[in-house]
Amino acid sequence: MKNDFPRIHVPPEIKRKMIEIAREFRKEPTKGEKILWNALRGKKLDGIKFRRQQPVGYFVVDFYNSTFRLVVEVDGPIHNFQKKADKARQDILEELGLTVFRINTEIPEMNLPQALNMIRAKIQEIRQNQGIPSPLVGEG
């Protein structure tokens, strides 16, 4: 099944710059990002692959899963002061057919199992909306 989502054409020189920025972001994750990445990396969450600090168009998202077109953003205190910018960015990502899931950094920092369950619930919601069968049901 092929979905025809809009795409952002990023010139090669900008694409290279976005990759460079993403690499820099990977070197200095926030505490919440680091904790969450340790729980997501290597398909640790139900066999689902996530990438961290993934360039998407002109943006770098905290975590991305291509199967479910899911962006997970870990929002720290700075996001309280940039709500308009975050909303505009999220609107653009959603126009590209992505689902943006925002989680406050305190959740993975204080209760990682809760954070993982919230991500699982979002994935389950996407599965249901897109008719994607759960790998946990039926085959075994």
Q: Which two tokens stand for residue 64?
A: 């991305």
The domain locations on the chain are 30-130
pLDDT band at 3 (very low <50, low <70, confident <90, very high): low
Poorest-pLDDT segment among 30-44, 45-59, 69-83: 69-83
pLDDT digits (tens, 9 = 90+) for 61-111: 999 999 999 999 999 877 666 788 889 999 999 999 999 999 999 999 999
pLDDT band at 123 (very low <50, low <70, confident <90, very high): very high
- Please identify, in words, the CATH class of the domain defined by 30-130: alpha beta
74 or 6, which is more confident:
74
**Distance between CA 50 and CA 101 in Å, rounded?**
13
Q: Which two tokens stand for residue 136?
A: 């946990």
Task: Please give the model's pTM, rounded to 2 decimal places.
Answer: 0.86
